[in-house]
Amino acid sequence: MILRTEVLLCFCWVPAVAHAQNNLTTTVTQRYFNGIRRNLEAAADAMPPAQYAFKLTDGQMTFAEWMNHATERNYSDCATLKGEAAPETSKKVASLKDKAEVSQALKDSFAYCAAALEGIDDQKVLASGPMTYSLLHIVVHNNEIYGNIAGYLRSRGIVPPSTASRMGKK
């Protein structure tokens, strides 16, 4: 009887410990989300205002459009994580062109995502395909955007923030 009770307690305890650890959401947040957030926000700050309309080629988006795209996706994906509709402010993002507005909107969207990440756990994320997709998308998609805009920065003589941080520069 004692052995059966110990086994039963073990089965109850292990899921509680695994649930409390939140390895997926913690790793995504600490290792990936915080880094890409820093890089994109710093890139938005580093690009001069006059260069927000710059395109590498005629067929590409402007720097501002890339930032707005990140902002829109952040609101969309993080609204999914929060279980709500995207905020009204997300509907105005596509029309932003000015550095101050674009940069602030991006930062606001990352703050919205940070709040969404605080309110989730592994069990909730893994129980829903859309939630899992949204969690991974805020990292993967933003890294893809950063990869694109690094070329925009370099073509303007600006060292991308990720490279600058490894070189000990701001």
Q: What is the DSSP string of 67-94?
A: HHHHHHHHHHHHHHHHTSPPPGGGGGGG
pLDDT recorded at residue 3? 42
Domain ranges across the chain: 23-166
Token pair in block for residue 77: 């994906």
pLDDT recorded at residue 170? 54
pLDDT recorded at residue 9? 36
Entry pTM: 0.84
Rounded Cα–Cα distance for residues 75 and 65 (Å): 15
pLDDT recorded at residue 38? 96
Given the candidates 1.20.120.450, 1.10.540.10, 1.10.3720.10, 2.120.10.30, the CATH classification of the domain at 23-166 is 1.20.120.450
pLDDT recorded at residue 16? 44
Please report, to the nearest 10 degrees, the dihedral formed by the alpha carbons of residues 136, 147, 167, 41 taken in order: -70
pLDDT below 50 — which residues of the chain?
3-19
Q: Scanning the structure block, which residue is given the tokens 């805009």?
A: 149
pLDDT recorded at residue 14? 39
